[in-house]
């Protein structure tokens, strides 16, 4: 049997984030990747110049048609753009399929990717449906109204998000400081620290890559905590092997793609 995972997210034409990096990450974890597009964007690693959310009926049609023939072992959501799309996703997904919610709100470049009015829908609809929520520190601050300055704050924010209905939360520490990049898994049993060496450069797509990796392992039947550990290993390697366009901003590289060991795409 071939395990399959589904991403419902925006399209990033650079290939460094969104459904494009999700599909690459699914392949890295050994599952068949499927994708439903929630929005089109015009962007590269350094800049977003446009976002066009799909009509909710189009999102619904994609999901329903896919499920007629294939059932994913797990689903992740990324950029959902607005409240109407969030509501459509929640009503279209069958109960019982594990959902990883990556509450994508702001791109690495600073461009807002979630309608401000949709934050309530994330809290009220998306989080309670999720087996795991994977906010970075700025997203956790929006979801809780807190200012997070240390690991104690990450834990407190994670507990608040968990108490909004999720089974578990990973607060990602990529926006933190120090030699280690620490993610904290908060569940009903306590807190698990997931640590790796912090690379000396920012990257585009790391949050998408991490949530997709966790989803890929959940789709194969791994429990949440083990999926988070294995997902951390995948994204750490993808950040280590990151590659850049001519603008210099790096993108995660979960497939280990190399162009004659050049660090920039299209450069000889």
How many angstroms separate the Cα of 50 from the Cα of each of 11, 12, 37, 40, 47? 11, 11, 15, 8, 9
pLDDT, one tens digit per residue, over 64-101 is 999 999 999 999 999 999 999 999 999 999 999 999 99
Band (pLDDT 50/70/90 cuts) for residue 108 is low
DSSP state of 241: T
Band (pLDDT 50/70/90 cuts) for residue 1 is confident
pLDDT at 257: 80
Asked whether residue 268 carries a pLDDT value surpassing 80, the answer given is no
d(CA 101, CA 78): 7
pLDDT at 121: 95
Residue extents of the structural domains in the chain: 4-251
- The share of the chain scoring above pLDDT 90, in percent, equals 80
CATH 3.30.420.480 fits 4-251, yes or no: no
- Which of 137, 174, 131 lies closest to 158 in space, CA to CA? 137
Asked whether residue 267 carries a pLDDT value surpassing 60, the answer given is no
Average confidence (pLDDT) over 108-130: 86
Span of 107-111, 126-130, 189-193 with lowest mean pLDDT: 107-111
Q: Average pLDDT over the chain, rounded to whole?
A: 92
Average confidence (pLDDT) over 57-70: 97
């Amino acid at each position: 049997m071939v395990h399959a995972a589904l991403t419902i997210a925006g399209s990033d034409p650079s290939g460094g984030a969104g459904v494009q990096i999700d599909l690459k990450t699914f392949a890295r974890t050994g599952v068949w990747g499927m994708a439903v597009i929630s929005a089109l964007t015009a962007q590269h690693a350094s800049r977003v110049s446009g976002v066009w959310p799909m009509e909710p009926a189009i999102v619904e049609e994609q999901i329903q048609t896919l499920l007629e023939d294939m059932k994913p072992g797990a689903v992740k959501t990324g950029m959902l753009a607005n409240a109407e799309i969030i509501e459509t996703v929640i009503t279209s997904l069958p109960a019982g399929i594990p959902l990883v919610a990556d509450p994508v709100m702001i791109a690495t470049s600073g461009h807002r990717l979630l309608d401000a009015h949709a934050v309530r829908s994330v809290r009220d609809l998306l989080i309670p449906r999720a087996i795991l929520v994977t906010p970075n520190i700025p997203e956790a601050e929006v979801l809780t109204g807190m200012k997070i300055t240390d690991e104690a704050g990450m834990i407190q924010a994670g507990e608040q998000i968990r108490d909004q209905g999720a089974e578990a939360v990973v607060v990602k520490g990529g926006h933190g400081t120090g030699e280690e990049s620490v993610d904290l898994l908060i569940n009903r049993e306590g807190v698990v620290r997931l640590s790796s060496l912090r690379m000396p450069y920012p990257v585009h797509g790391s949050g998408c890559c991490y949530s997709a990796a966790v989803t890929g392992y959940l789709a194969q039947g791994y429990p949440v905590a083990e999926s988070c550990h294995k997902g951390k290993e995948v994204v750490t390697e993808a950040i280590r092997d990151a590659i850049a366009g001519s603008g210099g901003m790096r993108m995660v590289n979960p497939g280990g793609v190399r162009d004659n060991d050049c660090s920039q795409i299209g450069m000889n």
